[in-house]
């Protein structure tokens, strides 16, 4: 099966279609040092990346279950895919009791190098890629954030409660 070489996921179901407000584009902050995003929210004001949201006119919501691992802590997950590109935009995992557990949300953008701009060595002058991720444990309310940086540190975890 292409895309899942360990055959972890199965019982795929299309459970919804419709519009979604998400950070599908215009999320890079190329004008900021190292492309760092500003933060907002939470008690300390740094829980979330400040992102630009847009209305995606149609997404597909696909539900799946782990099929090869009977003791997996995840009971199922739902992924929201952009209908035009099939890019995964958001994912929610559910525990074995069916309660929402973890939510993942990515942001994306088209990067274009301008004269004098700091750039990741070896990257093309134009490319499309993710910009940031929010990974939120909804049961503990713990947030992990990471982003793509101009200095090449592609995974910069920023945990916040």
If one compares 122 and 107, the residue with the highest pLDDT of the two is 107
User: CB-based contacts of 25: which residues, under 8 Å, 6+ apart?
Assistant: 52, 54, 108, 109, 110
In a domain, 4, yes or no: no
Helix, strand, coil in percent for the chain, rounding step 5 = 0, 50, 45
Provide the residue range defining the domain that includes 27: 9-160
In a domain, 2, yes or no: no
In a domain, 89, yes or no: yes
Q: What is the pLDDT of residue 151?
A: 73
DSSP letters spanning 54-114: EEEEEEEEEEEEE-S-TT-SEEEEEEEEETTT--EEEEEEEETTS-EEEEEEEEEEEEE--
Q: Mean pLDDT over all residues of the chain? A: 86
In a domain, 3, yes or no: no
**The pTM is what?**
0.85
How many domains does the chain fold into?
1
User: CB-based contacts of 3: which residues, under 8 Å, 6+ apart?
Assistant: none
In a domain, 32, yes or no: yes
pLDDT in tens, 58-102: 999 999 999 988 899 999 999 999 999 999 999 999 999 999 999
Rounded Cα distance, 42 and 98, in Å:
26
């Amino acid at each position: 099966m292409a895309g899942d070489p360990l055959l972890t996921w199965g019982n795929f179901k299309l459970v919804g279609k419709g519009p979604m407000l998400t950070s599908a584009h215009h999320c890079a902050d190329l004008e900021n040092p190292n492309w760092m995003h500003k933060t907002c929210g939470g008690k300390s004001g740094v829980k979330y990346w400040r992102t630009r949201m847009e209305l995606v006119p149609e997404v597909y919501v696909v539900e799946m279950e782990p099929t090869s691992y009977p003791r997996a802590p995840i009971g199922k997950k739902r992924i929201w895919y952009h209908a035009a590109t099939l890019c995964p935009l958001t994912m929610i995992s559910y525990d074995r009791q069916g309660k929402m557990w973890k939510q993942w949300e990515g942001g994306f953008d088209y990067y274009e190098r301008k004269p004098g701009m700091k750039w990741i060595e070896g990257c093309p002058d134009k490319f499309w890629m993710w910009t940031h991720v929010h990974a939120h444990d909804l049961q503990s309310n713990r947030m992990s954030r990471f982003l793509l940086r101009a200095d090449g540190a592609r995974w910069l975890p920023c945990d916040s409660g």
